[in-house]
Amino acid sequence: GLQSAVMVPVTIVDLNDNPTEFTQGEYRGDIVEHSSTGTPIFSVETADADTVVSGVTLSVRAGGMYAAAETLFGFASNDLVFVGNPADLDRDTLASYSFTIVVTDEDGQEDTAPATVTLLDINDNAPVFSQQEYTVNVPEDQALGVFFNSISASDADAGENAHVVYSLVSGNDAGKFDIDAETGQLVLVDALDYEMVQAYGLVVQAEDHGTPEAQSTQVSVTVNVEDVNDNDPAFVKTSLSRSVFE
C-alpha cells in the first residue's frame, strides 16, 4: 500500500522531580563572639537538575543544646549571617554551634547539610582570683628562695586571652618578696625579722595576655611574720649589787 511520513516536533516538558541540592557535603565557618548583626559567616551554593525551579528557600534547623542557632543565624541571599543579639553570641556560654541548613524548592522538596559555626574569643574577661584576699603566716626563719604560698587566678577567655601572669605591684618596698610570674608562687628573697616588722601588706596583680588590650585584677595579700625563738635571754642590767648585813 501507499505510505507517507511526516516530521512531528515533540517537546518534553520538564517537571520539578528533583530536589535542589547543596554543592558541598558540609559547611563550617568562624565568627568573632559579640559580632554585630548581619556579619556574614559562610556562603553556600545550590544546584538543581530541573529547569523549572524558579526559587528556593534557605533556612536553619537546630535542636537540643544548639536550639538557639535558629534565632542566632539565618540567610541573606546565599550567605549565612548572624541575625541575633550580639550579647547572645558569647563564646563563654557556648564555643560552637552545630546545626542543619536546609534548602527547599517551591514544591517543598528539600536537601540538608550539616553546618558548624565556631565562635572566636575576644578578651572580654578579666582574671579572677581564687580568693577575695589572702592571709599567709610565715616564720621569720623561712628559707630564702623557697616558695611559701601560691596565689592563683583564672580567666574565662581562651588561648592567650586566658594566659595569666602575676606581679607584685605594691607593698614590697623592702624587697623581701618575689612572685613567680607564671605560677603565682610567693618566694622570700630577703630575711625576715619579727622584732623589726611583724606583717607586710602586699598587692598582687594578675594580668592576661589579651589583645588588643590586656585586662588585669589585683588582690591583697597579708604576710604575717611568726616569731621564732632566735634571741637569748638578756639581763636588763649588766650588773647587780646589794649589801648584806651580818
The pLDDT tens digits for 16-72 are 556 788 999 999 999 999 999 999 999 999 987 665 556 789 999 999 999 999 999
- The per-residue pLDDT for 142 is 94
Alpha-carbon dihedral angle through residues 187, 191, 197, 201, given to the nearest 10 degrees: -20
pTM given for the model: 0.74
> Do residues 188 and 144 make contact, with C-beta atoms less than 8 angstroms apart?
yes
For 14, other C-beta atoms within 10 Å of its C-beta total: 11
- The per-residue pLDDT for 49 is 63
Task: Report, as an integer, the average pLDDT of 199-210.
Answer: 97
CA 235 to chain centre: 64
119: its cell numbers:
565562635
75: its cell numbers:
540567610
The rounded distance, in Å, linking the Cα atoms of 185 and 163 is 16
At 199, which amino acid appears?
A
> Do residues 192 and 176 make contact, with C-beta atoms less than 8 angstroms apart?
yes
125: its cell numbers:
574577661
Task: Report, as an integer, the average pLDDT of 212-235.
Answer: 84
Reported as a pLDDT band with limits 50, 70 and 90, residue 211 is confident
Q: Decide which of 13 and 105 is more confident.
A: 105
Q: Decide which of 106 and 9 is more confident.
A: 106
Reported as a pLDDT band with limits 50, 70 and 90, residue 199 is very high
- The mean pLDDT value of the chain amounts to 89
Task: Report, as an integer, the average pLDDT of 120-135.
Answer: 96
Strands 79-82 and 73-76: antiparallel
Q: Give percent above pLDDT 90 in the chain.
A: 76
> At residue 244, does pLDDT exceed 90?
no
> At residue 165, does pLDDT exceed 90?
yes
- The per-residue pLDDT for 228 is 86
Q: Decide which of 108 and 240 is more confident.
A: 108
Task: Report, as an integer, the average pLDDT of 73-99.
Answer: 96
10: its cell numbers:
515533540
Task: Report, as an integer, the average pLDDT of 188-194.
Answer: 96
